[in-house]
Chains A and B, each alone.
Chain A
């Protein structure tokens, strides 16, 4: 049932323009935005501007953006701890995303959660927890509710390769399969679950095969090819909207940095990391867009400048925002019925 799509760069480059230029540039711009925000978040952490930790998504932007870029406002995202940028893709203003890093009162949850657990209720982005695969379970429940309501909205639920080993992953997939729920499970297979290599995680070659045992179509794509991800995701989302059920989409990719900012990731060889950095999903898409005549140095500089200005403003907003009052810790425990 699983379809294996492992395009090479040359195949991508020879593909004719099947997407409108504004979509292609939109995907590019969003990947750059996620990259720049993520890198800025890392710098700010290293500068001691905020406490806790940060779980970088750099290197995985093609999967992150490609899977969720086409979502509507009434669709949902169920992110993992590594998907802070999912909020950005869904449309959360950067100033609130950076306020989240700082734990400021202007963050959507008034400083309760770490950056890893940012959600955005207004935009249907679930708050993740650190319990791996929990978001897949809750996301599946959301999909069940959407289906029962007769809505054609869908859920995109992200996880890593490690999450596919835990029982809840399978409870979620099984339930979604039984009820043909409108959900896309995006497995960002970055080869490392914290420090555990894939060979100790699974005997499978393709994690999309995880869907097979549950009767769910599985697709594995080059997770550094944003169009491959986008095409597979939009096909799966369209199926889901038609009531044809869930899909498992494996994006084969790589996490450039450690599990978190306090992890030097010495368990990986420098050669491995360098080889993957050469497959940078953004540089690759940039080259292709340039060859298609859609991008040039001036436009690129303009995009970077615009995003960097937005980030600077967001950081300033976060830094100028107040912290929550200590006793606010007591609020929002109980609903007042």
Chain B
């Protein structure tokens, strides 16, 4: 029986192993050192590597990211943390105007190998400012990878790959998965490709594309649909930027139907891009309109449980959309 870890343990192990392997790797962020992180993702690392490599920063997201960028220009591989995706606003300029563009505007003269860990997602009662998703702000920007692991195995492998990659990477870790997702994780370091989606469940009747916490929700819905005689192929994108078009197109050309499921708002979410890409490149292969399930058009995740439940995509909403797609 292979060893199992939770999602957050896998993240912690990836950080520890990369820091042991490569002394250029250093961490910085709010509460990550002495406190070990608000969710304990960096627990024990301050004690092992010291303040020089696990730095508690002033409460200022802009300089957290900018300091990481600057240090990367002189040879470090910093892994800054944004404690909650909701707080990333102050750092958007360094991320988009600097990290994502430095290589381009210097024609390769400068590169910026940083991995920005961002804690995101709803469904935990976090309310308006501890639940948001803003992955697509960055998925729209060429020059910075956006990865969204959904399993402990990917959490470790994608984080190690991100740290070793010469591009800036935004690594979005879903807080609801931290301790609810458990799975087999090899002890030795390994990487998961930063531009490849994963087929989580093969199926012939429809393709369902998803990522993050919604990957598990979608797999539950697919199991329910299997009991009803519909075999869905579930694709976990894993990376939102750049998008793995090949895997998506190959699947849709086989199943001829496609549903996109995300926790993000439906309008202008990643599903909009996938749907547009499919109409451009696989229109003749489609037997039905591309459907999407996402959050409603409200500014953020509301707090009160019935309101939050209304906001969040769940198994039943996905099943209903799959039924609709199957019936077309």
Contacts and interface: CB of A to CB of B under 8 A. Distances in A.
Given A131-B97, A335-B103, A145 B74 contact: yes
B59 to A, nearest CB: 10
A139 interface: yes
Contacts of A334: 103, 142-143, 167, 242
Contact of A139 (B52, B70, B101, B105): B70
Q: Chain A: interface secondary structure? A: helix
A138 interface: yes
Contact of A172 (B66, B74, B113, B165): B66
A137 B52 CA distance: 20
B180 interface: no
Interface of A: 108-110, 112-113, 117, 119-122, 126-127, 129, 131, 134, 137-146, 148-149, 151, 167-168, 171-172, 174-175, 178, 331-337
B63 A171 contact: yes
B93 interface: yes
Interface of B: 26, 52, 57-58, 60, 62-63, 66-76, 90, 93-94, 97-98, 101-111, 113, 142-143, 164-167, 242
B110 A144 contact: no
Contact of B70 (A117, A144, A174): A144
A335 B165 contact: yes
B166 A137 contact: no
9 contacts: A108-B106, A119-B109, A145-B71, A175-B67, A331-B108, A332-B107, A333-B143, A334-B242, A335-B166
A117 B105 contact: yes
- Of residues B58, B69, B104, B242, which shows the largest number of chain A Cβ atoms within 10 Å of its Cβ? B104
Contacts of A119: 105-106, 109-110
Contacts of A131: 93, 97
Contact of A140 (B63, B107, B143, B242): B63
B110 A175 contact: no
Contacts of B103: 332-335
A3 B10 CA distance: 53
A178 B58 contact: yes
A210 to B, nearest CB: 16
* 3 shortest interchain CB distances as A-B pairs: A141-B70, A121-B109, A137-B66
B142 A333 contact: yes
Contact of A337 (B52, B74, B165): B165
A91 to B, nearest CB: 15
Contacts of B164: 337
- Of residues B58, B93, B98, B142, which shows the largest number of chain A Cβ atoms within 10 Å of its Cβ? B98
Contacts of A120: 109
Contact of A142 (B70, B166, B167): B70
A120 B110 CA distance: 9
- Of residues A110, A138, A334, which shows the largest number of chain B Cβ atoms within 10 Å of its Cβ? A138
Contacts of B105: 109, 112-113, 117, 119, 127, 129
Contacts of B66: 134, 137-138, 140-141, 168, 171-172
A245 to B, nearest CB: 15
A174 B111 contact: no
A146 B26 CA distance: 14
Contacts of A151: 74
B108 to A, nearest CB: 5
A142 B110 CA distance: 12
Contacts of A174: 58, 60, 63
